[in-house]
Amino acid sequence: MNAPLRVTIFNEFVHERTHPAVREIYPHGMHATLKSALESLLGQGVNVSIATLEMPEHGLSEAVLAQTDVLLWWGHAAHDLVADAVVDRVQHAVLKGMGLVALHSAHASKIFRKLLGTSCMLRWREAAELERVWVIDPGHPIVDGLTTECFEIPHSEMYGEHFDIPPPDELFLLSWFEGGEVFRSGCAWRRGKGTLVYLSPGHETFPIYHQPQIQLLICNAARYASPRGGLYLGQGRNIREPLSPIASGHIVDESLHRR
């Protein structure tokens, strides 16, 4: 039997405590809704932990990350309050194989922008408009279990192109909005040995994370982003002893390689 997938959910947990409209939809925090969805769909196949902005080290210490296979990230109101040291720590964990699933407004988080190297900015509008999410790669594991070629979110925040991201390694969802815009709403990249997934559908003032299709996508994304492969070989390695004899009698001036 495989070991349970170890998921840590990072949620700022700001809006739910300061805005009654958000608290009405997510009374125990968005992280509680996401945790419940993961446990309902994955059962004993997942262990879920919670991290919030106010915790020491935002709940993302070296020890926590060492016990995390996949990190879900929600941020919106407090991107700038996330400590740079924690961002660096998460980046290194992703490069070594930890998965990261960035949700909705996490496109503007420090960690998402650091991993992708661009502004990650976009068009947006909050008008409670219809979003139609199209599956454009029906063979992708993250859309497994969806039974229609598209589904609708009755009230959503519009995210529109141009989305300033590097071309995704994998693009599996495309959203159309009632106001006319389109958006690459499901993307994935490899960074080092880790997998980065972005899912845009979601919002703090709409009950999108209660919608079954969205919960399924997030669960699938967590499984898809789980660590795989061999050793992470991202560090420079000076190989002094060759695998086979070298005929040259070259003598290395080691002073040229010291900093």
Convert the pLDDT of each residue in 232-255 to its tens digit. 888 788 777 888 888 877 777 777
Residue 210 belongs to what domain range?
5-117+185-230
Q: For residue range 5-62, what is the model confidence (pLDDT) as tens digits?
A: 999 999 999 888 889 999 999 999 999 999 999 999 999 999 999 999 999 999 999 9
pLDDT (average), residues 106-113 = 98
User: Does residue 144 belong to any structural domain of this protein?
Assistant: no
Give the mean pLDDT of the chain. 94
d(CA 71, CA 10): 7
pLDDT range class, residue 191, cuts 50, 70, 90: very high
Spatial neighbors of 111 by CB under 8 A, at least 6 apart, are: 73, 82, 87, 90, 91, 100, 102
**Alpha carbon distances (Å) from 115 to 30, 67, 106, 132:** 24, 21, 12, 28
Q: Per-residue pLDDT for 186 more than 80? A: yes
pLDDT the model gives residue 258: 67
Does 246 fall in a domain? no
pLDDT band at 184 (very low <50, low <70, confident <90, very high): very high
3-state secondary structure of 54: coil
Q: Express as a percent the part of the chain with pLDDT over 70.
A: 98
Over the Cα atoms of the chain, what is R_g?
A: 21
Residue 179 has pLDDT above 80, yes or no: yes
Instruction: Tell me the one-letter amino acid at 6.
Output: R
Buried b (16+ CB within 10 A) or exposed e, 45-72: ebbbbbbbbeeeebbbeeebbeebbbbb
Query: Interhelix angle for 212-224 vs 30-42, to 10°?
Result: 70
pTM of the complete model: 0.93
- Asked if residue 72 is part of any domain, the answer here is yes
Alpha-carbon distance 123 to 177, whole Å?
12
- Quick check: 71 and 191 in contact, CB under 8 A? no
pLDDT at 234: 81
**28 part of a folded domain:** yes
Report pLDDT for 228: 87
DSSP 189-245: EEETTEEEEEE----SSS-GGGSHHHHHHHHHHHHHTS--SS----S-----S-SS-
Q: Which has the closest alpha carbon to 229: 42, 112, 95, 100?
A: 95
Residue 31 lies in a domain: yes
**CA 15/CA 24 separation, integer angstroms:** 11
How far apart are the C-alpha atoms of 52 and 77, rounded to whole Å? Answer: 13
Domain contains 255: no
User: For the chain, how many structural domains are there in total?
Assistant: 1
CATH number where 191 lies: 3.40.50.880
In this predicted structure, the answer to whether residue 256 has a pLDDT above a threshold of 90 is: no
Residue 259 inside a domain? The answer is no
pLDDT at 195: 98
Q: Is residue 136 part of a domain?
A: no
**Percent over 90 (pLDDT), the chain:** 84
